[in-house]
Amino acid sequence: MRPDAQPVLTARGVFIEYEVDPPVKAVRNASLTLHRGEILGLAGESGCGKTTLAYGLNRLLKAPALMTAGEVTFHDADGRDIDVVELRDESLRTFRWDKVSMVFQGSMNSLNPVMSIRRQLHDVFTTHRPGMRRREREARCAELLGLVGVDPSRLSSFPHELSGGMRQRVMIAMALALDPQVMIMDEPTTALDVVVQRGIIREIMRLRERLGFAVIFITHDLPLLIEISDRIAIMLEGEIVEQGTAAEVYRAPRHDYTKRLLASFPSLRGERGDFVRRGADTTTGDAA
């Protein structure tokens, strides 16, 4: 991120509630700013409200979830400020995927199993770019697969014919289809093995550098965020309890929860733990 980067998405005082009995306050007074070209990491344990906040930023909440208060503003590249909360119907439809796209958690299973990759990519353009000719759509689909490191010949494949990593890359290609300025990625490497995870992360970093979009990267893996993010926000029980640069969060965490998160990951160079040092009780088979 450049030091003079301008904001592209801001949220102020966002409250989101699940209207069940009793009501669940899933997000409370959350505020954050995403700058152009930046990777903003959003970390916290499962159930802390990360995904709910992401859905709120992109107006994807469905009943019983409801944003009860707060402001979300998208700062368009042409200088216009768009009040996301007030968007309705066609304007909201245009905003999604065109301005802000999303790679969903478990997105490998989001592809339609009975439709080819070509058909599913074409549908993006027939829906959002109805004036686009078929030849142009085909060229753009091939270009998108090439961007994410998948051979364009795979356009004819069905999802079950692709590996998990390739399906995830196809989902990233779909999110890039309309050249969004912001991409929200909700645990995009969940359920992938470590080697494939690293390949996907490298691809995201390369595409961000090449295309210049900003990223909100959601995960519970704080060490990963420290490695790839410009700034990090920590969520706990629906609240953002700490924000700072990746270096600040790593070297000088302020909140006790952030310190506990960092301490929960083992060091590769520290002393061996008590279990290893003491060994196991050979009589009972239990730790000493």
Mean pLDDT by 10 residues, the chain (288 residues): 78 97 95 96 94 95 95 95 93 90 79 94 93 95 95 95 91 94 90 84 92 94 92 97 96 94 76 47 40
| The dihedral sign for the CA sequence 186, 24, 231, 72 | positive
**How many angstroms separate the CA atoms of 193 and 165, rounded?**
9
DSSP 8-class letter at 20? S
**How many angstroms separate the CA atoms of 87 and 94, rounded?**
10
| pLDDT value for 285 | 41
Cα distances from 14 to residues 17, 44, 49, 54, 85, in angstroms, run 10, 17, 12, 11, 11
- CATH 3.40.50.300 in the chain is located at 1-99+181-205+213-265
**Helix locations, the chain, DSSP H:** 50-57, 89-98, 117-128, 134-147, 164-176, 194-211, 222-228, 246-251, 256-263, 274-278
**How many angstroms separate the CA atoms of 182 and 192, rounded?**
24
| pLDDT value for 107 | 64
In the chain, count H helices and then E strands. Answer: 10, 10
Its CATH class, for the domain covering 1-99+181-205+213-265, is: alpha beta
Q: At what angle do helices 117-128 and 134-147 cross, to 10 degrees?
A: 120
Token pair listed for 109 = 């299973």
Residue at token pair 């700013």:
33
Is residue 112 a contact partner of residue 123, using CB atoms and an 8 Å limit? no
Phi and psi torsions of 40, nearest 5°: -105, 115
**How many angstroms separate the CA atoms of 229 and 238, rounded?**
21
Residue at token pair 């645990």:
187
213: Cα separation from own chain's centroid = 13
Q: Count CA atoms within 13 Å of residue 1 on its CB side.
A: 21
| The dihedral sign for the CA sequence 42, 46, 48, 53 | positive
